[in-house]
Amino acid sequence: MTQTVFAPWEDPGEKPLIQFKNVTKRFGSFTAIDNLTQDIYEREFFALLGPSGCGKTTMMRMLAGFEEVTEGQILLAGQDMARVPPNERAVNMMFQSYALFPHLSVWENIAFGLKRKKMPKSELDARVDEMLRLTRLERFARRKPHQISGGQRQRVALARSLARAPKLLLLDEPLGALDKKLRQDTQFELMDIQEKTGTTFVIVTHDQEESMTVASRVAVMDEGQIIQVATPDKIYEEPASLYVADFIGDVNIIEGIATKSGEDGYKINWSEGKEPFQAKTPRTLSEGQKAYIAIRPEKIAVSQDKPDSALNSIKGKIVDIAYLGNMSTYHVEIPGGLTIKAQTANTRRLSRRSFTWEDEVWLSWTLTAGSVLER
Amino acid sequence: MRRFSWFNATSLTFGFVFLYLPMLLLVIYSFNSSKLVTVWAGFSTKWYGELLQNEAFLDAAWVTLRVAVISSTIATVLGTMAAYVLVRSGRFLGRTLFSGMIYAPLVMPDVITGLSLLLLFIGIGLDRGVLTIVLAHTTFAMCYVSVVVSSRLVSFDKSLEEAALDLGCTPMQSFRLVTLPIIAPAVISGWLLAFTLSLDDLVIASFTAGPSSTTLPIKIFSAVRLGVSPEINALSTIMIGIVTIGVISASLITKRSMVRQQLEEQEAIRT
Ligand SMILES: Nc1ncnc2c1ncn2[C@@H]1O[C@H](COP(=O)(O)OP(=O)(O)OP(=O)(O)O)[C@@H](O)[C@H]1O
Ligand SMILES: [Mg+2]
């Protein structure tokens, strides 16, 4: 491969744009951000993922300068931000609540930040029009925020934060209110903007697919801490913990006792008297310790007969089928009461589907299909 | 009201008659052609004409108007600032004390406010005149303005100001370009309230007015002690008119645009 992979976090010589250094944020006695240390590099598209209330917005607000850091330091391009007011930071934020100015039209809302820059009128007009075009709001330029729909408001908020072309753009759930088509288009626009301008994005999203599409790295948060930071595929394929595995996408979790088997493999004894499942992992587990296998449903094959080659296979009964258009998810009950989800692509028409409720089927997966996790 | 019972109708009528009959009589008698206040002798507007000839009354009217405009304007600026600081600046030492002290003059008897101001002016050797009335009116009107404005500010979404800061505004610009336009209806109705309060204040003005600076209420009060004249009725009718217009527009502005703006604001934020 000739194309160089964008991975500044692997280069020790690279200077991070943002540095969280042991940052703690407390509201009274409540700790919203708990001793967080994280570097974010220039030109990154850094996605924050996590359940509601885990501190995503708080992290952004500290970057934008609306929230003081209780302990620790935030550096932006090497400079300590503690004493820099929000209006003097080269940072723009798109608010989760939009915060559009109700007394100004869509056009004036977008122009607001540009006017503070003392830009020549013609340049300003051109820039606002460009933003309107980008967010497909040309027809609504003269309307007030209360005269447009929720999705349109979200786009105004996005356009307003993009207009100033900041070095660092903070987007707090920027695309939640858009329909799927428009969301995908906007995602590509965002990536395009980033290609062109080299802006660094920190984006909060609840949509794991979105983070997979746009992000250079994903940070999964929980209770004010970052649990894992990695590239989207790594987060998906090699989650560091059950929490991450469960949070990103659908996953089957099988609990058992690990015993060493071969070079870098383990047998997971998941039920007394049953054939243990086998898995490879770079981790070292101690003999007899509790471990989990996390397997994505699409990594599990469903077949009529027992496959010859697969090392892990088990027979079960279909208890439920979820038809998802291009995919079907089979819920298969295996001996011991565990229900395993297996996903297959629908290449045939629904009426000719080969399996149906109550059918006995074989599930199988390879040694590397699942990740072995300790917690 | 679905069932407009006999009792409700009576109490409403009684209440309104009690409130407005005296004023109605005053207005009617201001158009009386007779010099005798209590005897109706036909419609005439001559007392309004004579009023315009009366130098003393015109002077007093001019003083009153100047005092009202200047003091309500200063009170609006100060009251708005006070409200902003009290609502916005989170917790600071003695904040509760401050906000309590802002509202205290509302319930303070006018006599006490007037007397204490008089003592102050004498104490610092300020000659009583238009200036002292303006200062006195500013002091008490400011509280009213700050009450009106702060009730608006409490429901004001703070993230709008943050957005303004984020887009490069200094705190001052953010106030001027975002906060002020949005709370403008409350500020205007605060001004109108201050204006009408100043217009009809008698007690505080009589403590702080000098010989050369008599306001209309003082003039009317002293004139009436020598007997009610139709001229006074005419003058009072005009004042009722001005005050009514002031109060009605204040409440209209408040109701209409504040409701509308709050609606807009709520919609501009995600629901
Ligand atoms: N000003 C504040 N005072 C007290 N607690 C706060 C304040 N702001 C946020 N919190 C608390 O801090 C925690 C993190 O809040 P934050 O807004 O960062 O969550 P979030 O991850 O953005 O959630 P969501 O996905 O729902 O937007 C929450 O538990 C919240 O209640
Ligand atoms: Mg949030």
Each residue's pLDDT tens digit, A187-214: 888 888 888 888 999 999 888 888 888 8
Find the closest chain B residue to A91 by CA distance. B166
The Å distance, Cα B154 to ligand 1 centre, comes to 21
Q: Which of B167, B180, B183, B271 to mutate to test the interface with A (most CBs of A within 10 A)?
A: B167
Q: How many residues does chain A have?
A: 375
Contact A145 B169 (CB under 8 A): no
Q: Is the pLDDT reported for residue A132 higher than 50?
A: yes
Quickly tell me which residue has 């660094």 as its tokens: A200
Quickly tell me which residue has 């609840």 as its tokens: A206
The closest residue, in CA terms, to atom 17 on ligand 1 is A57
Report the alpha-carbon distance of residue A103 to residue B171 in Å, rounded. Answer: 18
A1: confidence class by pLDDT, cuts 50, 70, 90: very low
Which amino acid, one-letter code, is at B46?
K
Is A232 touching ligand 1 by the criterion CB < 6 Å?
no
Given strand A301-303, what is the order of strands in its sheet? A301-303, A360-365, A312-323, A327-333, A339-345
* Nearest ligand, CA A50: 1
Is A55 touching ligand 1 by the criterion CB < 6 Å?
yes
Find the closest chain B residue to A164 by CA distance. B167
CA dihedral A102, A105, A109, A110 (to 10 degrees): 150
What is the pLDDT at residue B268?
Answer: 59
ipTM of the complex: 0.83
| Average pLDDT, rounded, for chain A | 89
pLDDT tens digit at each of 271 positions of chain B: 556 688 888 888 888 888 888 888 888 888 888 877 777 888 888 888 888 888 888 888 889 999 999 999 999 999 999 999 888 876 777 777 877 777 787 888 889 989 999 999 999 988 888 999 999 999 989 999 999 999 889 888 889 999 999 999 999 999 999 999 999 988 988 998 899 889 889 999 999 988 888 898 898 888 888 877 788 888 888 888 888 888 888 788 777 776 776 676 666 565 4
CB proximity list for A255: less than 8 A, separation 6 or greater: A270, A290, A291, A292
How many Cα atoms within 13 Å fall on the side-chain side of residue B110?
Answer: 13
What is the pLDDT at residue B261?
Answer: 66
Q: Is the pLDDT reported for residue A289 higher than 80?
A: yes
The closest residue, in CA terms, to atom 24 on ligand 1 is A52
| Helix, coil or strand: residue A161 | helix
Task: Evaluate whether A224 touches A32 at the Cβ level (below 8 Å).
Answer: yes
Token readout for A75 is 């550096």
Going along chain A from its start, the domains and CATH numbers come out as 8-245 (3.40.50.300), 250-373 (2.40.50.100)
Region of residue A229 (left: phi > 0; alpha: psi -120 to 50; beta: else) = beta
Is A345 touching ligand 1 by the criterion CB < 6 Å?
no
Chain B contact set for A154 (CB, 8 A): 270
Question: For A358-363, what is the mean pLDDT?
Answer: 89
Neighbours of ion ligand 2 (CB under 5 A): A 57, 96
Distance from CA of A60 to the nearest CA of B (A): 12
Give chain B's contact residues with A (Cβ, < 8 Å): 157, 159-160, 162-171, 173, 177-178, 181-182, 261, 263-265, 267-271
Going along chain B from its start, the domains and CATH numbers come out as 55-270 (1.10.3720.10)
What is the pLDDT at residue B16?
Answer: 86
Chain A contact set for B181 (CB, 8 A): 103
Percent of chain A with pLDDT over 90: 53
Contact A95 B163 (CB under 8 A): yes
A353: confidence class by pLDDT, cuts 50, 70, 90: low
Is A25 touching ligand 1 by the criterion CB < 6 Å?
no
Interface check A164 vs B, CB under 8 A: yes
The Å distance, Cα B183 to ligand 2 centre, comes to 27
Give the nearest ligand 1 atom to A51 CA. Answer: 25
Contact B167 A116 (CB under 8 A): yes
Q: Which of A88, A97, A104 to mutate to test the interface with B (most CBs of B within 10 A)?
A: A97
Element (H, E) at A78: none
What is the pLDDT at residue B2?
Answer: 56
Task: Evaluate whether A142 touches A106 at the Cβ level (below 8 Å).
Answer: yes
Interface check A169 vs B, CB under 8 A: no
CA angle B235, B238, B244 (to 5 degrees): 140
Report the alpha-carbon distance of residue B240 to residue B234 in Å, rounded. Answer: 10
Strands A360-365 and A301-303: antiparallel
Distance of CA B195 to the CA centre of its chain: 4
Is A323 touching ligand 1 by the criterion CB < 6 Å?
no
Distance from CA of A211 to the nearest CA of B (A): 22
Report the alpha-carbon distance of residue B30 to residue B24 in Å, rounded. Answer: 10
Phi, psi of B133 (to 5 degrees): -65, -45
The closest residue, in CA terms, to atom 5 on ligand 1 is A27
Of A64, A102, A116, the CB nearest to B182: A102
Q: Is the pLDDT reported for residue A265 higher than 60?
A: yes
What secondary structure, in 3-state letters, does chain B show?
CCCCCHHHHHHHHHHHHHHHHHHHHHHHHCCECCCCCCCCCCECCHHHHHHHHCHHHHHHHHHHHHHHHHHHHHHHHHHHHHHHHHHHCCCCCCHHHHHHHHHHHHHCCHHHHHHHHHHHHHHCCCCCCHHHHHHHHHHHHHHHHHHHHHHHHHCCCHHHHHHHHHCCCCHHHHHHHHHHHHHHHHHHHHHHHHHHHHHCCCHHHHHHCCCCCCCHHHHHHHHHHCCCCHHHHHHHHHHHHHHHHHHHHHHHHHHHHHHHHHHHHHHHCCC
Q: Pocket of ligand 1, candidates A26, A36, A48, A56: which has the most ligand atoms within 8 Å of its Cβ, to mutate?
A: A56
> Helix B230-253 vs helix B55-88: angle between axes, to the nearest 10 degrees?
20
Token readout for B206 is 């009589």
CB proximity list for B115: less than 8 A, separation 6 or greater: B207
Q: Is the pLDDT reported for residue A144 higher than 50?
A: yes
A142: confidence class by pLDDT, cuts 50, 70, 90: very high
The Å distance, Cα A56 to ligand 1 centre, comes to 8
Give the nearest ligand 1 atom to A60 CA. Answer: 18
User: Which of the two residues, A168 and B47, has the higher pLDDT score?
Assistant: A168
Find the closest chain A residue to B178 by CA distance. A101
Is A205 touching ligand 1 by the criterion CB < 6 Å?
no
Q: Pocket of ligand 1, candidates A57, A69, A205, A206: which has the most ligand atoms within 8 Å of its Cβ, to mutate?
A: A57
The closest residue, in CA terms, to atom 9 on ligand 1 is A58
Q: Pocket of ligand 1, candidates A25, A58, A69: which has the most ligand atoms within 8 Å of its Cβ, to mutate?
A: A58
**Where is average pLDDT lowest: A303-307, A316-320, B96-100?**
B96-100
Interface check A100 vs B, CB under 8 A: yes
Interface check A140 vs B, CB under 8 A: no
Report the alpha-carbon distance of residue B99 to residue A97 in Å, rounded. Answer: 30
Give the nearest ligand 1 atom to A67 CA. Answer: 1
